[in-house]
Structure 1
Amino acid sequence: MAAATAPPKPITIYERCRIAPPTDNGATVQSLPLVFFDMVWLHFSPIQRLLFYQFPCSQKHFLETIVPNIKKSLSLTLKHFLPLAGNLIYPLNNSALMPEFRYIPGDSVSVTIAESNVASEYFNYLTGNEPRDADQFYAFVPDLPQPRTEHESGIKIIPLFAVQITNFPDIGICLGFTNHHAIGDASSIVGFVKAWSSIAMQDGNVEFLADNHSVPFYDRFAMTCPIVFVIIYFLNLYINYIKKNVVIINCFTKTLTNKLRATYILTKNNIQKLRNFVQTKKPASITHLSSFTITTAYVWTCLVKSATDAGEEVDDDEPEHFVFAVDARRRLDPPVPATYFGNCVAFGITESTHGQLKGDDGFLLAVRLIGEVISKKVNNKDEILRDAEKWMSKFSSLNTKRAFGVAGSPKFDLYGTEFGWGKPDKFEVVSIDGTGSMSLCNSREFEGGLEIGLCLPNKKMEAFAAIFSAGLEK
């Protein structure tokens, strides 16, 4: 399976500007401490998402109508999401100080206004499901502004959010947004984007946020994670990174990957067929058979099985890990409000061996392992944070070449976000290129189906596609 030949990716930058919350809202300095769940993501790469909308639009309409509305609605939305307009304040030479998120009046979000210079067919290429050149997407991803250092105060100031809107003349629009993961998880960022799209659709009306109980909740004292977790994490970072002059918080660099990006769909019928297979083979020993469990287990084992055909040499006793994050808001005791803005995710991790997962019963094994983690730990309030202070050391010990994860969740769906251009034609998580994870969201085309995004080298993608399809035909 070879990727279609993609045209060049030049764009014209019309404007680089800064969008701030309204200055008449009386906003003052807002400081938020990082809780344990935020600390986990301090050294993680930014998250990059793209939404493609099929909306024929002239250059004149784009610049005179679309762009002003985007700017206005973004500013009004930031009024309720001040941390995104602010910065991460990171102490460099004083372990007695803790990082914090800080907004001061005048802080703003970087916004890029652009236009694609290539043929209209290129839009269809980017929004397809077939394998495409992953590097062709980077022109539409906004860069976070570079961090700056205040040497006198000994702090690094790190921007947290950036936006880019690109017009494909007479065919569509791409809205890209990049965020530092420490400022918020998928629930928080998707909540912001949905609020933004609603304000854009309602011509600046923000009252619905209160009416729909969608105002973000910022109270860090609602979190039950012990403060000792925060201290342990930061001291570990300070000792192992900062004192060694290693910058752990980097902006994403758009380095050529020479990989392919593809989307795979599991329809509702596909998932039920796989579920029936598990129930027939292991009716008693496997009890947790959610769509998430079935889907991730199937993709994980298909990837493992594709290693040989892709030319990888992996010993049968080589450990294989599957890691996933789960929204912990309602799972904590006491629970945290659904509108809590920040990070509030726990982790599930399970392990097997290459030989076991590529065997005939590999899928059944993966379903059991993932299901057990969800039922015994993730859905157990007494267990969900057990050994949480060791999460970082566990992750750092994994062989990243044999670890597989998930970005996103069907619960945080962006396919319903309208800005006046109709619903999105395609959603892409570009940041999986560097993490080796799969993206996961609801299918736009098939009700009850799930959409899986992968970014892999050519041979690995070919091998995976063949195994993925063959497994559904049995």
Structure 2
Amino acid sequence: MATTILETCRVPAPPGAAANLSLPLTFFDIQWLHFHPIRHLLFYDYPCSKPYFLETVAPKLKESLSLTLRHYLPLAGNLIFPLNSEKKPEIQYVAGDSAVSLTIAESASDFDHLTGNHARDADQFYEFVPEIDPVTDESEYQRVPVVALKVTLFTGRGICVGFANLHCLGDASSVVGFIKAWASISKLGGDEEEFLTKHAESLPILDRSVINDPLGIDTIFWKVIRDVPLKSSSFPLPTNRVRATYILRQADIEKLKDLVLAKKPGLLQVSSFVVTASYVWTCFVKSEEQVDDDDVLQVFIFAADIRARIDPPVPASYFGNCLAYGLAKIEHKQLVGGEGFVIAAEAIADQIKNRLNNKDQVLKGAENWLSETKEMTAIRAFGVSGSPKFDLCSADFGWGRARKLETVSIDGEKHSMSLCKSRDSEGGLEVGISLPKARMDAFAAIFEEGLRF
């Protein structure tokens, strides 16, 4: 291991923050209670010395983190999971007893190798991922922190900021909002007033009453989940995988859109997301060595922020989860056939139009989400993590735009892709894939050949 831990500390909210906070989980949150933590790494080009890092950069990050927590108190809190009780889980913050775990480290690893797009051993990235503290068992409940952070210096080369959070804390919209707020306050040198002047409208809304749940879906979900105690999170090591990044330039995306529209001229929702997801999904399925049954269903599952898509709408800055999901199902033989990409695009676009963008349908059957998603884990499902909509790489701590985002948590999923804006290609997208080496080689060949064709 080429990484040395320099310091571990716990960063509290600043004096004057609220004394305590109890934030009940909604049905949007409860369904994620047993999901693995979401893990992101942001790599920044920032050549600085170790003394400068320890004397200037690290203290500045701690100070700005503390100031940010004043507005994002749930991140300093713990998930409280009741045992043998009708009580429902909540996130609890108690002044003096709640803080965020922050690890400061130094690495001698090759920064340029880690931030490349080529296939790299997935295991090596876990040196930079923070570990969430183990679950604490009390007599009437379990308790576990919702967030952990780690900042690693590559002396004279760059910095990696690692995030791990429980998914029940919030979706990408919420967590990215926190990361960008921390980065902004850090860049402003801890000037909280200037931050508030610029970002007052985007401060998180914690009011759970904005989530409408007339059917009591939270109770339905809790009855299913409460008998399964929390487990401490762990890294899926060894992963036996490699990670690689694939770029779809704007020109590639436009060609894919043209191909779909040439075959399906009346199709709506032919977005960059639709054609990218469809193309990667079909390449992934084609990369599988063999399938015993050509009629077997292949499934693509994707989540969508529905704050503005439900009635009544939820404020854009609401902090928590507010996701629904789309589910495209296609027979294997169709997906790997000559029209597979177009069929996939049509299926995904249909889910967006008729399910996610339809206020009458988006939450229809939500009480069955737990059983539906459980079924997906037992079949040939492919998912997506992240969205270019939130552009996590734009979080600027004063070091500029991030050079690379790695969504490490896709290693812990059966099969998934990550998605974000491309740094080097205006209008382009970056796709992250984690696969065994042999299958990655097959995927890469199919991906490149398809774009040339």
TM-score tier, shorter chain, comes to over 0.9
TM-score, normalised to structure 2, is 0.97
Select which of 3, 8, 12 maps to 1:16.
8
For residues 313-342 of structure 1, what are the alpha-carbon distances to aligned partners after superposition, in whole Å with 9 as ceiling and x for unaligned?
342111111100000111111111111000
Question: Alignment partner of 1:467: what SS?
Answer: helix
Residue 247 of structure 1, CA deviation: 3.3
Q: What is the rounded CA distance, in whole Å, between the counterparts of 1:330 and 1:361 in structure 2?
A: 34
- Please say if 1:276 is aligned against 2:258: yes
- Please say if 1:205 is aligned against 2:191: yes
Q: What is the rounded CA distance, in whole Å, between the counterparts of 1:190 and 1:398 in structure 2?
A: 27
Select which of 296, 313, 323 maps to 2:301.
323
Match of 2:120 in 1: 132
- Please say if 1:443 is aligned against 2:422: yes
Residue 263 of structure 1, CA deviation: 0.3
Q: What is the rounded CA distance, in whole Å, between the counterparts of 2:378 and 2:431 in structure 1?
A: 20
Match of 1:98 in 2: 88
- Please say if 1:307 is aligned against 2:288: yes
Question: Alignment partner of 2:202: what SS?
Answer: coil
Worse-superposed segment, 364-373 or 212-221: 212-221
Select which of 342, 367, 374 maps to 2:345.
367
Residue 170 of structure 1, CA deviation: 0.8
Contact 1:224 1:332 survives alignment (8 Å): no
Residue identity matched to 2:440: M
Match of 1:86 in 2: 77
Residue identity matched to 1:303: F
Q: What is the rounded CA distance, in whole Å, between the counterparts of 1:113 and 1:254 in structure 2?
A: 23
Q: What is the rounded CA distance, in whole Å, between the counterparts of 1:26 and 1:391 in structure 2?
A: 37
Residue identity matched to 1:344: C
Question: Alignment partner of 2:418: what SS?
Answer: strand
Question: Alignment partner of 2:446: what SS?
Answer: helix
Q: What is the rounded CA distance, in whole Å, between the counterparts of 2:350 and 2:450 in structure 1?
A: 23
Q: What is the rounded CA distance, in whole Å, between the counterparts of 2:83 and 2:292 in structure 1?
A: 41
Q: What is the rounded CA distance, in whole Å, between the counterparts of 2:92 and 2:81 in structure 1?
A: 10
- Please say if 1:228 is aligned against 2:210: no
Match of 1:69 in 2: 60
Contact 1:324 1:405 survives alignment (8 Å): yes
Question: Alignment partner of 1:415: what SS?
Answer: helix
Contact 2:20 2:93 survives alignment (8 Å): yes
TM-score, normalised to structure 1, is 0.93
- Please say if 1:291 is aligned against 2:277: no
Q: What is the rounded CA distance, in whole Å, between the counterparts of 1:181 and 1:410 in structure 2?
A: 19
* Superposition misfits of 4+ residues, deviation over 3 angstroms: 246-250
For residues 333-365 of structure 1, what are the alpha-carbon distances to aligned partners after superposition, in whole Å with 9 as ceiling and x for unaligned?
111111100001111112111111111111111
Q: What is the rounded CA distance, in whole Å, between the counterparts of 1:413 and 1:323 in structure 2?
A: 21
Residue identity matched to 2:286: K
Residue identity matched to 1:298: Y
Residue identity matched to 2:270: L
Q: What is the rounded CA distance, in whole Å, between the counterparts of 1:47 and 1:295 in structure 2?
A: 22
Match of 1:160 in 2: 146
The correspondence of residues 167-246 of structure 1 with structure 2, limited to 5 A, is 167-207=153-193, 208-209=195-196, 211-212=198-199, 213-226=201-214, 228-238=216-226, 242=227, 246=228
For residues 436-464 of structure 1, what are the alpha-carbon distances to aligned partners after superposition, in whole Å with 9 as ceiling and x for unaligned?
21100111111111110000011111111
Residue 108 of structure 1, CA deviation: 0.4
Question: Alignment partner of 1:331: what SS?
Answer: coil
Worse-superposed segment, 208-217 or 221-230: 208-217
Question: Alignment partner of 2:304: what SS?
Answer: strand
Residue identity matched to 1:103: Y
Q: What percent of counterpart residues are identical?
A: 51
Unaligned runs of at least 5 residues, structure 1: 1-8
Contact 2:250 2:426 survives alignment (8 Å): yes
Task: Tell me: CA distance 1:315–1:380, structure 2 relative to 1, closer, same or farther (3 Å).
Answer: same
Task: Tell me: CA distance 1:67–1:360, structure 2 relative to 1, closer, same or farther (3 Å).
Answer: same
Q: What is the rounded CA distance, in whole Å, between the counterparts of 1:452 and 1:48 in structure 2?
A: 16
The correspondence of residues 41-80 of structure 1 with structure 2, limited to 5 A, is 41-80=32-71
Worse-superposed segment, 216-225 or 391-400: 391-400
Q: What is the rounded CA distance, in whole Å, between the counterparts of 2:7 and 2:274 in structure 1?
A: 44
Unaligned runs of at least 5 residues, structure 2: none
Question: Alignment partner of 1:232: what SS?
Answer: helix
Contact 1:314 1:354 survives alignment (8 Å): no
For residues 253-301 of structure 1, what are the alpha-carbon distances to aligned partners after superposition, in whole Å with 9 as ceiling and x for unaligned?
25111101000011110011011111122223x3220111110011011
Question: Alignment partner of 1:258: what SS?
Answer: coil
Task: Tell me: CA distance 1:338–1:159, structure 2 relative to 1, closer, same or farther (3 Å).
Answer: same
Task: Tell me: CA distance 1:254–1:373, structure 2 relative to 1, closer, same or farther (3 Å).
Answer: closer
Contact 1:44 1:249 survives alignment (8 Å): no
- Please say if 1:350 is aligned against 2:328: yes
Residue 401 of structure 1, CA deviation: 5.6
Task: Tell me: CA distance 1:229–1:417, structure 2 relative to 1, closer, same or farther (3 Å).
Answer: same
Q: CA RMSD of the aligned region, Å?
A: 1.3
Contact 2:83 2:141 survives alignment (8 Å): yes
Select which of 126, 131, 155 maps to 1:143.
131
Contact 1:307 1:314 survives alignment (8 Å): no
Residue 379 of structure 1, CA deviation: 0.5
Q: What is the rounded CA distance, in whole Å, between the counterparts of 1:259 and 1:28 in structure 2?
A: 45
Task: Tell me: CA distance 1:249–1:184, structure 2 relative to 1, closer, same or farther (3 Å).
Answer: farther
Select which of 375, 378, 401 maps to 1:423.
401
Q: What is the rounded CA distance, in whole Å, between the counterparts of 1:401 and 1:72 in structure 2?
A: 47
